[in-house]
Structure formats: structure tokens, C-alpha cells
Structure 1
């Protein structure tokens, strides 16, 4: 089965190479954190097969940070591909900044928890245990992207602990939440699993229970006026393909049901 899978993956990359090699270009990609680990696995394979090069800019899907993808586009930065939270991409489509016909769904991302490496791992296997863990924690950090917005605006309310968590929880902008847990600045760190796993100095605990989980769909599209739309389309087709799913899953993401 693995051999058949590898043959299929190779065949796809060869077909992409044949379709784009005659006009290999530098593709400008903007990607948000949740899909970045998968992109770092898939991008080099695509580049090697097609001859295209990838110029990558990182930034969140939303928020006030100047690195945020909508803010980059608003000030005129050029891109051939944007990879971001699906509903944030849909907002850019409504604004006329992304070609709606180019939209491709890539993966689902769930929220998880990390603690500092060596620290005891709390049990968050049930909603009651998650609530208990949060109430007993000295400090809690979460991201300024989709997962953090959900935690701050919905999860704490659903658990009935909004008031006691307000004073000891912080939304962390720009940097991975795991990095501030690794330094000991915060006891608990919540973010999308794919953004937690690559961070050194932390231990992954678990995903939060499914009944209070927020699943974030990552999608990609081609900005209106992109300089290399054909190469961009080939990249999107590859990242969404069945052959790419092993790499997608390896980074903590879940495949999209098609």
C-alpha cells in the first residue's frame, strides 16, 4: 500500500512538473501558523518537482499585527497564494481581494494544550477535568488567531469560568504560544495542535474535548492580480491532493472530508 501511495504521489508531482516547468517562477506565498508546518513539508517537494521557487511570508489570519495576512494585502504586499483560516479567507473573497474560483480547502485544525517540558501533564480528557485544570492553573496563554479568539470569547463562557480566568489569562500576539510556556512565563498554553507540536521546550498534553472543541478549517486562494496564477493553482492542487495527506496529518492536522 505504501509503495502504491508513493507511486501516486510521484505521478502527481511529475504531472505538476510537466505543467509548470516551462514557466518556472518564484511563487510568493503568505501562510498563517496553523498550516505552516504542513506547508514546510509540502512546499519543498513541490518546488523540487516543478522547478518553481517559493518566497514565503508568515503571519496570522487575522488581528492587528502588521504581519497578519489581511494587513499585508491591505498595504499592497504582493502574493500569489494565501493560506489561512477559511472564514478569514472568505472575508477577503467578499472584499474582492481573492479570486473566489481559486478557493481550495486544505485541512482541519483542532485546539490542544501544552505545558512546560518536565511539568506534570494535567488530565483534560473530559469537560469537567478541563474546567478543573483551568481553574487550578496559575496562568493561561492562548494565541491571537482563531483558536485564541474562540477560547477568550466562547470557551471560558461555555465552561462558566469567564470571571476567574480573566485575571490570569493572556492573548499572546505574533509568537507561538508554546514559546512562552517553554520559558515558564505561563503554565498552560492553548493553540492549534499543528502550531504547538514544533515548539521545543514544551510537552503536548492533548486536544481539548470534542464537545467543546473548535475546529478551524484552513483554506487557500489566489489573490486577484497575482503575478503567477498558473503556478499558484498547481501548488494549491498539490497541497489539497490525496497524496499530500500523510504530511498534513503528520503535523497534527486532520484531512478534510471530500
Structure 2
């Protein structure tokens, strides 16, 4: 007679172990897309049966980390950076554009709203502000790199330099809360992510700069099925509605 004890022991072990844990999915994301990903994370984890491990940085920081061999499954990066990393073999094709965002202006909560309706009014607002916070271009943040060039184009780079509050990374709008700056310029989604500040509006259309964000799978992905489900979710209806609430918009079809 065959003993049932080994079978019963195995069954008991399975019962006390409980359900299998969701597989980890490591995501590297540019800072502007982090609020969107954080908000979508619970539904993505539930439907895709994954556990998201999300870390963010400026575009320059992420470029270095990926080139240095950091392990990850999915990266959400500015389109040009994603194309560069795809060409070098760090990201696997295809690339998938998921959103785009413009640059906006904010001031401290309760402060008078400056006029930025035209390029000249925006220029005058910059000159009148006692301090201006924006991403440090040396850190590689896309908005900081663009703004440093824009200040030169507007002929105010020398006037801005002594009152610039250059932020190495993170949310520029926090400098309004802690009193370090009177004006903050950053991607709209990141300004809207900061409580107790007043969002003024986007840059004038003639000088606006949009960053397109692209999702791609690592060339050394460990959880391919989870990565594909995540990217698919970023194109869903829930993601589209959330993007608008967070100051972004779905990317144009590729």
C-alpha cells in the first residue's frame, strides 16, 4: 500500500504557503512621468500581476545609470534618449511613445499671478522675478537644458544667472514652498505634483517645448511578460484620462 503521508505533507505545505507573490517589475522613469506612474501603479499591479519597483531621475542621470549596466525591466524616457539607448543596444525594439508634456510656470500659493500670455510678457516676468527656479541643465534634465538655451535666445541669460535657483533633480516647485524661489519653471506634470503652490499656466506657444516620453523594454529584461503588460496599460483609457489630470497628454500615434 502506497503511503499518503508524503502527498498530504506536500498539500499542507502548499496551503500554508498561500498564493504566489507577484513578480517584481523594475521601472526606471524620468521625473516628469513619475506622478503618472505612481497613480497608475495600483491598477497595473492588480491587472498585470506584478509588483512595480519604480525609481526616477533626470534624463542625464538615467542615461548614465543604464549605460553603466543598472538592471531594470522597463524604462520611460524622453524620446531622443530612448532612441539613443536603443541604437546602442541597451533598449530592445520596438519603442512606444506614451505621453508628451509641455513646460509651465508656477508661483507661491497666494502670490499675484504674473502675466505670461505672450513671449514678451513672459520675458518681462522673468526679469521682474527676484529668483527663478528651474532644473540645473548640468544635471541633464530636459526642461533645464531647454530653458538655459531659451534664456539666451530671449537675451536675458546674464540677468537670470545671479538669481537662478538651479535644482539638481526632483520637483522644482518645492523651491516655492520653502521660500528659495519666487518663480518656478518646470514641466507641467511636475509642477502640478507639488501641493501649496499656484500653477500659472504653460509657456507661450511660440516658445513652448514638448517632451515626448517613450517606454521601452531593457535588452536584458527579466520579466518580459510583465513589461509588455505595463506598456500596454500605459496606452489604455485609464492612462489617457489620468495623463490629462496630471498635466500631460497621450502621445500622437507612431
TM-score of Structure 1 vs Structure 2, range by shorter chain: 0.7 to 0.9
> How far is 1:143 from its partner?
1.3
> How far is 1:50 from its partner?
2.4
Which among 77, 83, 87 is matched to residue 84 of structure 1?
Answer: 77
Which among 181, 185, 192 is matched to residue 197 of structure 1?
Answer: 192
CA RMSD of superposed structures (Å): 1.6
Which among 147, 151, 154 is matched to residue 143 of structure 2?
Answer: 147
> How far is 1:55 from its partner?
1.0
Post-superposition CA distance 1:108-157 (Å, at most 9, x none): 1100011111211101011111011011111111113111110012x112
Structure 1, unaligned stretches of length 5 or more? 1-21, 63-67
Q: Report matched runs for 1:85-124 at 5 Å.
A: 85-101=78-94, 103-124=95-116
Post-superposition CA distance 1:205-227 (Å, at most 9, x none): 11110110001101111111110
> How far is 1:163 from its partner?
2.1
Residue 229 of structure 2: aligned partner: 234
Post-superposition CA distance 1:68-122 (Å, at most 9, x none): 2122223332100011111111121122100122x11011110001111121110
Q: Secondary structure in 1 aligned to 2:59?
A: coil
Post-superposition CA distance 1:225-258 (Å, at most 9, x none): 1101121011101102344200111100022222
Which among 157, 163, 174 is matched to residue 162 of structure 1?
Answer: 157
> How far is 1:26 from its partner?
0.9
Residue 45 of structure 1: aligned partner: 43
Residue 73 of structure 1: aligned partner: 66
> How far is 1:24 from its partner?
4.7
> CA–CA distance in 2 between the matches of 1:95 and 1:171?
31
Q: Secondary structure in 2 aligned to 1:249?
A: helix
Residue 13 of structure 1: aligned partner: none
Contact preservation (8 Å) 1:245, 1:255 = yes
Give the strand-richer structure, 1 or 2. Answer: 2
Residue 182 of structure 1: aligned partner: 177
Structure 2, unaligned stretches of length 5 or more? 1-19
For the pair 1:132 / 2:127, whether they are aligned, the reply is no
Residue 7 of structure 1: aligned partner: none
Flag as ranges the 4+ runs of structure 1 deviating above 6 A: none
Larger Rg: 2
Contact preservation (8 Å) 1:84, 1:219 = yes
For the pair 1:25 / 2:23, whether they are aligned, the reply is yes
Contact preservation (8 Å) 2:132, 2:164 = yes
Residues 124 and 53 of structure 1: CA distance in aligned 2, closer, same or farther (over 3 Å): same
> How far is 1:194 from its partner?
0.3
Residue 212 of structure 2: aligned partner: 217
